[in-house]
Amino acid sequence: MQDAIVIIPTYNEIENIEAIVRAVFSQEKQFHILVVDDNSPDLTALKVKELQKDFPQRLHLLQREEKTGLGTAYIAGFKWCLERKYDYVFEMDADFSHNPNDLIKLYNACHIENADMSVGSRYVKGINVVNWPMSRILLSYFASKYVRLITQMKIHDTTAGFVCYKRKVLETIDLDAIKFVGYAFQIEMKFKTYLEDFKIVEVPVIFTDRVRGKSKMSGSIISEAIFGVISMKLNSLFNKG
């Protein structure tokens, strides 16, 4: 069994899915892929099924009946991977905002440098974001600063969605107790990992905004991330984990 798998959640990513799958499979290090598709109207899942003919043992598909949030898609993916024997489980977007060439950096941080979680970080060395408007860069940057202040995590990019987990982290965290479903999910997973005293390492990467397809970012997602952090922190003080 291959030791590493990349979870790619999708909703209307027909313009990106074939390219991102082939880019991951072109890496020198061999990765498997699990696409978690939320019943995309643009038939993203159908394209994945076609690609499975080219990659029958490496490309997997988990289809869900409806779109219920990024967090629930990843939780379903985590559980699927834990039922198999993968030692390293990755989160990655379908839109090339995360460079597949950086997968090996995150893998090596865990496999060689003994991190339990490695984070592809936009902010550990300055601000490495391409094609975002300044307003969105500042919102993301200061949101991460805010989360770092409230939670006391020593992580610069707390909202990053490009992550590698060692299997034991996902086995330790109570996945059914994860509360957030939007981008705050990324914060909560890091916070739960931090509370369990796992070693978290940030790996500098360059984040490039999507060229094709439509962003899923919204005001409600941002407010969940900002206002949910305080309740998450307070809850941890009274009930760790």
**pTM for the predicted model, two decimal places:** 0.90
List beta partners, residue 189.
none
Summarize pLDDT for 199-226 with one digit per residue, the tens: 999 999 988 875 554 554 445 556 666 6
| 8 Å CB contact between 138 and 59 | no
Mean pLDDT, rounded, of the chain = 89
Q: Is the pLDDT score of 183 beyond 90? A: no
Rounded CA gap, 42 and 210, in Å? 17
Summarize pLDDT for 109-152 with one digit per residue, the tens: 999 999 999 999 988 876 777 777 787 778 777 888 888 889 99
As a whole number, mean pLDDT of residues 42-56 equals: 97
- Report the SS3 class of residue 47: helix
Which range is least confidently modeled, 2-11, 58-67, 134-143, 181-190?
A: 134-143
| 8 Å CB contact between 123 and 147 | no
Task: Give the strand order in the sheet containing 117-121.
Answer: 59-63, 32-37, 4-10, 88-91, 163-166, 117-121, 200-204
CB atoms within 10 A of CB 124: 17
Rounded CA gap, 215 and 174, in Å? 29
DSSP codes, 57-93: TTEEEEE-SS---HHHHHHHHHHHHHTTT-SEEEE--
As a whole number, mean pLDDT of residues 40-68 equals: 95
The percentage of the chain sitting over the pLDDT mark of 70, rounded to a whole number, equals 90
Q: Is the pLDDT score of 100 beyond 90? A: yes
Q: Which token pair is 15?
A: 């313009």
Q: How confident is the model at residue 182 (pLDDT cuts 50, 70, 90)?
A: confident
User: Per 3-state DSSP, what percentage of the chain is helix, strand, and coil (rounded to 5)?
Assistant: 40, 15, 40
Report the pLDDT value the prediction gives residue 199, as an integer from 0 to 100.
Answer: 98
| 8 Å CB contact between 106 and 164 | yes
